[in-house]
A = this chain, B = another copy of it.
Amino acid sequence: MTSRVRISLKDIFYPQSIAVIGASSDEQKERNSWTGVLLNFGYQGKLYPVNPKATKILGLQTYPSVKDIPRPIDYAILNIPAPLVPGVLQDCATKGVKVCHIFTSGFAETGMAQGVKLQEEVQSIVNRTGICVIGPNCLGIHCPDSRITFANLPRKGGPAAFISQTGAGAGRAIIYGCNKGIYFGKVISYGNAVDLDSSDLLEILAEDPKTKYIGLYIEGTKNGRRFFEATKKCLRMGKVMVILKSGLTEAARETVASHTGALGGSEQAWQAFFAQTGAIRVHTLEEIVHQLVAFQYIAQPKGRRVGIIGRGGGPGVIATEICEMEGLKVPAYNEKTREQLRNIIAEKAGSMVRNPVEIGVGWAGTQAGYKDAFKIVADSNEVDLILTHLNPEAFALYGGTPEWLNDSIDTLLQIYGTLPIPVVLVLPNGETRETRALVEHARRRCSRAGLAVFTTYESATRAISKLITYYESSHKFQDFEQ
């Protein structure tokens, strides 16, 4: 039996009723656990704590067993000791629960006989009854749309989804994303994948009109062919896919076996997978978010030529080198463009009229010069994208005021939408309390206005380069059925 025919997007992400099996009768504890987290996140469906020793938890009618709940249950969360899981899962199947999320750990991921045996029991119940299981050993669902979550997370959602074999990584990606302008609309941590695995989840998300970008953290997959087909289906449906395939090195492969009991697969096989599908490969959780920023905030560049516009000499040179290391070009401007730049910048401290253009921080009229530089570079027809960088410490170091950063962002937001090519901002984290707050504020303004912001040159250039590679290759993947 495959889960792909029996389970829909609605079953997983939009259940109308949830049973929390193993809710604590200690309300203080449960306030920070499943019942409290769901209430706090604003879940609007029916919520039923299950605990044989309590009649009410956090104001909700509580039942001794899932079988005692007098209404249908769409979704159950199992937060009970591992040895009790098979029995309760059987109860859920009997009750007609569609989806069971087994939060509990202590299964095959332990590598110990007892855990492996318990997982086999879970597997056999799934096979026999057809109940759908998420997990075990995972955090389950986060879906701001239906107000379901697994932790105290922000409520804002968006067009990005994240499928994650690691729970800790799922939470981290959501929080990290919020500060970079990526608001995940659907996240699922699926752990040991005794039933639902990445292929099922991709097939389900392929049908979701609200999901445009899919990030994946996978350590292994049960069926490589199915994963390949599910990936192609998502791509065919117009979703962008960004994948962190972990567990490839020898050591990591053993770790993965421990972590979720999955098989890592060979590096060669995965290289072929990426080459054939056009899914984008990344190497850290943070890079998933950076790549999603590139897709969500940067319009398709026509080529790899980058114009760098900065506010101080050395960083522009470093950025140039990093661009070229990441496969981008930073071409010299022709004499006409240089002449135009010369006219606006003149020979002032910290200014340069080449590519990168540098506009000295201390120079009077910098905002006007900054703005003009964008127009000249964008209209030159010599570059396909502008990378600009601001040093949040600059004003503090060189006698300026905090308004300098705000004013620079004003300038950027005024100009970037009027240009024929995309603009990307590199704005490092502030290093003092004052600059940190200013940077946060500046980033939020940019994200809200749709301007792509990165923290480092490396993350920006890597994401831009992969974005361009994606567009360069995408015609190759238009007809998948080769």
Q: Which residues of A contact B (CB under 8 A)?
A: 32-33, 37, 82, 103-106, 109-112, 114-115, 137, 151-153, 164-169, 171-172, 175-176, 178-179, 217, 219, 244, 246-252, 254-256, 258-260, 283-286, 311-318, 320-325, 329-332, 342, 347-356, 358, 360-361, 391, 393-394, 396-399, 428-429, 431-432, 436, 456-458
Contact = CB atoms under 8 A, between A and B. Distances in A.
Q: Please state the number of chain copies in the assembly.
A: 2
A247 B317 contact: yes
Contacts of A316: 255, 259
A398 B170 CA distance: 12
22 contacts: A37-B399, A105-B351, A112-B342, A151-B397, A151-B399, A167-B312, A167-B313, A169-B314, A178-B431, A179-B431, A217-B314, A246-B317, A246-B318, A247-B317, A249-B320, A249-B325, A250-B324, A258-B352, A259-B352, A284-B456, A286-B456, A436-B436
A318 B284 contact: yes
B350 A314 contact: no
A258 B167 contact: no
Contact of A347 (B112, B164, B311): B112
Contacts of A347: 82, 105-106, 110, 112, 114-115
B168 A313 contact: yes
A397 B152 contact: yes
Contacts of A166: 312-315, 317
A175 B315 contact: no
Given A166-B315, A175-B432, A246-B318, 20 more contacts: A37-B399, A109-B352, A111-B353, A151-B399, A152-B399, A166-B313, A168-B312, A168-B315, A168-B391, A169-B314, A219-B317, A248-B321, A249-B321, A251-B330, A251-B331, A251-B355, A258-B352, A259-B352, A284-B458, A285-B318
Given A314-B259, A352-B109, A396-B152, A321 B283 contact: yes
Contacts of A284: 318, 322, 456-458
A167 B350 contact: yes
A354 B396 contact: no
Contact of A32 (B259, B394, B399): B399
A193 B479 CA distance: 58
Contacts of A171: 393-394, 397-398
A168 B350 contact: yes
Contacts of A246: 314, 317-318, 321
A312 to B, nearest CB: 3
A458 B325 CA distance: 17
A363 B196 CA distance: 26
A255 B399 CA distance: 27
**What are the 9 tightest A-B residue pairs by CB atom distance, in nearest-first order?**
A166-B314, A168-B312, A32-B399, A169-B314, A249-B324, A151-B397, A251-B330, A105-B349, A258-B354
A391 B172 contact: yes
A152 B431 CA distance: 13
A82 B332 CA distance: 26
